[in-house]
Amino acid sequence: MLVGHLALVVAAVFAGAAVYITIAEHPARMRLADGPLLTQWKPSYKRGFAMQATLAVVGCVLGLWMWYLSKDWRWVLGAVVLVANWPFTLFAIMPVNNRLVAMDEASPPGEMRGLMERWGVLHAVRSGLGSAATGLYLWALN
């Protein structure tokens, strides 16, 4: 059961970080002027991406390992939901990320702010996926 508990903890850390970004960090960042908004987002995104990408993979591997041990389909479903953050990020969020990373503080404010708003909506999906995976793992533990 230790593997299952570790999978749950990793998924919950992923979800907690994603939810924090969605409900606290990004809305606070959006109150900044355009130049500081982009300046703050770039290093935050870089560090957050590394952390959340790792958590998604580790949480998926642990969930698959627990599925192998228990043969309970809820573990594999939770693992798939958690790792679904990878393709969602690559195909839905990464084009927005790449455009934002390529901008500088003197970029047209309307375009940058619009991309930041879109990024926030897209990131909320990651919060949902992480929360759903956490719920599935919790359900599987019962």
Quote the pLDDT of residue 108.
Answer: 72
Instruction: List pLDDT tens digits, range 98-120.
Output: 999 999 887 777 889 999 999 99
Quote the pLDDT of residue 107.
Answer: 73
Quote the pLDDT of residue 22.
Answer: 97
> What is the DSSP annotation of 2-63?
HHHHHHHHHHHHHHHHHHHIIIIIHHHHTTS-HHHHHHHHHHHHHHHHHHHHHHHHHHHHHH
Quote the pLDDT of residue 115.
Answer: 95
Map out the domains of the chain as residue ranges: 2-141
Quote the pLDDT of residue 59.
Answer: 98
Q: Which residue has the tokens 């798939």?
A: 80
Q: Which DSSP symbol is given to 17?
A: H
* pTM passes above 0.85: yes
Q: How far does the chain reach from its first CA to its final CA, in angstroms?
A: 11
Task: Give average pLDDT by consecutive 10-residue segment, the chain, 142 residues.
Answer: 96 98 97 92 93 96 98 98 97 96 82 94 98 98 92
